[in-house]
């Protein structure tokens, strides 16, 4: 097979890095890509510029316009600075907060961005060390700033890093600002990046902001008296080497939990993530050490956060006393069930409350809300869209919770992004609430299924890297639009929703209606006659196309659960075959 040679547009772009104002080590690395007869890595490094997706800027670390490095971070920061000065030209001083997680180069990228913001005359509030993502969102709101960033690649493998940008309400940037910022970033040449900003434009944030954040975190508690009774609940918590290591145990202690058990090997802060292949609480391997510690200590609950402490993973005991992992959909259901149930019991439901879920999250979340008279909203994947719903209802309706299937939940609106610090705190309270009734979280989950219907979900993704991979993913979406499946697991297709055209087609009545979303998105959804739901979308931050599958059934008694799980797993397997997966 002939080694691929980079096309002219890519070599021209790469040559700019060889001749431009880049440091010697960067030029040397680019030259090595040129010198390799196989230009695959050169093509992947330069075939595009990193773009803001649902989670901001994210990519593999290395040289090139399609890589995370001080120059792509620099261009993003310069472009963001320029746009901030346009958008907030009426203010005498613009301010931003900067945080970072545990990843390799995260502190370097954070300090690089701080210097560039400062050189642009923007006041910078830089956290002294790694901090959870939700605290950066909180700090923007608390200090009345106009923007902020956190350097993180969330739960991705160690080769990755990223750059999440936030607006003045503490939410990740949405349209039109995201597209406008991209346009400013694309204009930036390396010589136009301002540097060597005045140090008096940079203030350091530390313990004082932590304490303000934690004061708000403890307000998510609905039942402090239950925690007092169950303060010795045994909780194993792991930060998986990340930024939850300090604040999540502090939050649990402030709520009154007195028996927090650590996983010492994973309390080690490291961008190498030495105990896991992937620092993702969705992955069983990442939870293995924590579950082993829970078995050893006879714990009640296992909780984990990802490197930037916005995602929450939990493991609970089933009726056989074995720890099982709870998926992201189930976590959302448990949260919403508890919040609504307790608010009703405490007389806190006034009739103007609402919850939010993303379109790929279990439809049972909508059932829980609807059957309890609580308004719910569907939005696109990404907490920036949940935050947008909150913003649109500010001062009119009360947000009481929202989440998505990818292990994210936001219990309150003092943060405008997914928040593992608050979520761990509230989940521990829910476990205490269950124990106070001589139940477990597993019992609570079964009660939800019995009352609102049973569903089983699975997310399957297909990875296609590089330029050719992006093209293949695009073609897969085209093919599904042109040739949707006629049936899934024996049930005929009933409804197709296409968020690129914002049209919903009912196949049985052959009618069309509009989908109530403000913007389009490259997402397809298939609904069958028996309630099966499949959502297909390319990831906005990773080289993946994702398939979200949900099948439904009925749980009439708890002893049916295992058989129902097996039955629906078989059905999901068939759905995947019908999709060609």
Q: What is d(CA 385, CA 389) in angstroms, rounded to the nearest whole number?
A: 6
Quick one: pLDDT at residue 4?
78
| Length of the chain counted residue by residue | 581
Same domain, 356 and 434: yes
Task: Please tell me the pTM assigned to this model.
Answer: 0.94
Domain assignment of residue 5, yes or no: no
Same domain, 463 and 337: no
pLDDT by residue for the chain (581 residues), tens only, comes to 456 788 888 999 999 999 999 999 999 999 999 999 999 999 999 988 877 654 568 899 999 999 999 999 999 999 999 999 999 999 999 999 999 999 999 999 999 999 999 999 999 999 999 999 999 999 999 999 999 999 999 998 999 999 999 999 999 998 889 888 888 988 999 999 999 999 999 999 999 999 999 999 999 999 999 999 999 999 999 999 999 999 999 999 999 999 999 999 999 999 999 999 999 999 999 999 999 999 999 999 999 999 999 999 999 999 999 999 999 999 999 999 999 999 999 999 999 999 999 999 999 999 999 999 999 999 999 999 999 999 999 999 999 999 999 999 999 999 999 999 999 999 999 999 999 999 999 999 999 999 999 999 999 988 887 778 888 899 999 999 999 999 999 999 999 999 999 999 999 899 999 999 999 999 999 999 999 999 999 986 667 899 999 999 999 988 899 999 999 999 999 999 999 98
* Domain end position, chosen among 205, 233, 252: 205
Nearest to 251 by CA among 470, 16, 18, 428: 428
Residues noted as catalytic: 154
* Domain end position, chosen among 205, 233, 250: 205
Same domain, 71 and 188: yes
Q: Three-state SS for 414?
A: coil
- As given in the structure block, the two tokens for residue 461 are 């993704």
Q: Where are the alpha helices (DSSP H) in 412-560?
A: 420-436, 441-452, 466-482
Same domain, 260 and 404: yes
- Output b/e per residue, 506-534; b: 16+ Cβ within 10 A: ebeeeeeeebebeeebbbbbbbbeeebbb
The beta-strand segments (E) located in 272-428 are 301-305, 312-317, 323-326, 353-358, 375-379, 398-404, 408-410
Same domain, 233 and 256: yes
Q: What is d(CA 267, CA 289) in angstroms, rounded to the nearest whole number?
A: 12
DSSP classification of residue 191 = G
- As given in the structure block, the two tokens for residue 58 are 């994210």
- As given in the structure block, the two tokens for residue 264 are 């010492």
Domain assignment of residue 510, yes or no: yes
Boundaries of domain holding 501 = 454-578
Same domain, 168 and 235: no
- Contact by Cβ (8 Å): 272, 160: no
273-277 CB contacts, 8 Å cutoff, 24+ apart:
273/157, 273/158, 273/240, 273/241, 273/307, 274/241, 275/240, 275/241, 276/240, 276/241, 277/157
DSSP classification of residue 240 = T
Tokens 């994947």 locate to: 381
Q: What is d(CA 39, CA 37) in angstroms, rounded to the nearest whole number?
A: 6
Same domain, 473 and 425: no
Same domain, 368 and 499: no
Contacts of 320 (CB under 8 A, 6+ apart): none
The beta-strand segments (E) located in 101-205 are 123-127, 147-151, 160-166, 202-205
Quick one: pLDDT at residue 1?
43
Same domain, 419 and 487: no
Same domain, 331 and 308: yes
Domain assignment of residue 226, yes or no: yes
As a 3-state breakdown, the chain gives helix, strand, coil percent values, each rounded to 5, of: 40, 25, 35
Domain assignment of residue 35, yes or no: no
Contacts of 319 (CB under 8 A, 6+ apart): 442, 558
Nearest to 232 by CA among 299, 292, 295, 296: 299
Contacts of 128 (CB under 8 A, 6+ apart): 204, 205, 206
């Amino acid at each position: 097979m002939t080694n691929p040679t980079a096309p002219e547009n890519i070599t021209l772009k790469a040559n700019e890095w060889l001749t431009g104002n880049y440091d010697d080590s960067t030029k040397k690395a680019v030259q090595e890509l040129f010198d390799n007869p196989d230009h695959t890595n050169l093509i992947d490094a330069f075939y595009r510029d990193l773009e803001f997706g649902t989670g901001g800027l994210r990519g593999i670390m290395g040289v090139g316009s399609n890589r995370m490095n001080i120059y792509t971070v620099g261009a993003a920061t310069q472009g963001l600075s320029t746009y901030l000065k346009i958008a907030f030209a009426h203010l005498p001083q613009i301010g931003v907060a900067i945080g970072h997680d545990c990843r390799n180069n995260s502190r370097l990228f954070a300090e690089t961005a701080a210097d560039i913001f400062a050189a642009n005359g923007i006041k910078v509030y830089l956290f002294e060390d790694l901090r959870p993502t939700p605290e950066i969102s909180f700090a923007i709101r608390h200090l009345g700033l106009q923007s902020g960033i956190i350097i993180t690649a969330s739960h991705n493998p160690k080769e990755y890093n990223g750059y999440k940008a936030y607006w003045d309400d503490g939410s990740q940037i949405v349209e039109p600002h995201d597209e406008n910022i991209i346009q400013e970033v694309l204009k930036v040449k390396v010589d136009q990046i301002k540097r060597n900003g005045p140090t008096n434009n940079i203030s350091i944030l530390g313990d004082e902001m932590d304490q303000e954040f934690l004061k708000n975190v403890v307000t998510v508690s609905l039942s402090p008296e239950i925690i007092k009774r169950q303060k010795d609940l045994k909780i194993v918590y792991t930060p998986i080497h990340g930024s939850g290591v300090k604040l999540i145990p502090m939050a649990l202690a402030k709520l009154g939990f007195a028996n927090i058990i650590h996983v010492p090997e994973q309390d080690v802060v490291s961008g190498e993530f030495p105990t896991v292949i992937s620092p993702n609480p969705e992955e069983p391997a990442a939870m293995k050490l924590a579950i082993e510690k829970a078995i050893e200590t006879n714990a009640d609950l296992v909780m984990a956060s990802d490197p930037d402490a916005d995602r929450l993973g939990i493991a609970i005991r089933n009726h056989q006393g074995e720890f099982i992992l709870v998926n992201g959909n189930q976590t959302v259901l448990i949260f919403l069930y508890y919040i609504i149930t307790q608010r009703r019991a405490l007389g806190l439901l006034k009739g103007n409350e609402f919850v939010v879920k993303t379109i790929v999250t279990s439809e049972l979340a909508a059932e829980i809300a609807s059957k309890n008279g609580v308004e719910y909203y569907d939005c696109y994947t990404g907490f920036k869209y949940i935050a947008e719903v909150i913003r649109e209802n500010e001062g009119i309706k009360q947000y009481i919770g929202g989440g998505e299937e990818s292990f994210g939940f936001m219990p309150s609106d003092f943060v405008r992004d997914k928040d593992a610090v608050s979520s761990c705190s509230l989940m521990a309270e829910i476990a205490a609430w269950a124990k106070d009734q001589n139940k477990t979280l597993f019992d609570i989950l079964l009660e939800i299924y019995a009352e609102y219907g049973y569903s089983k979900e699975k997310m399957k993704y297909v990875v296609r890297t590089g330029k050719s991979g992006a093209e293949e993913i695009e073609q897969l979406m085209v093919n599904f639009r042109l040739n949707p499946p006629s049936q899934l697991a024996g049930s005929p297709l009933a409804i197709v929703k296409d968020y690129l055209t914002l049209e919903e087609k009912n196949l049985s009545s052959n009618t069309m209606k509009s989908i109530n979303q403000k913007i389009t998105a490259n997402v397809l959804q298939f609904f069958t006659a028996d309630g099966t739901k499949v959502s297909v979308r390319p990831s906005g931050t990773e080289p993946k196309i994702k398939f979200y599958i949900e099948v439904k059934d009925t749980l009439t008694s708890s002893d049916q659960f295992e058989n129902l799980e097996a039955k629906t797993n078989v059905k999901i397997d068939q759905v995947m075959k019908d999709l060609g997966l």
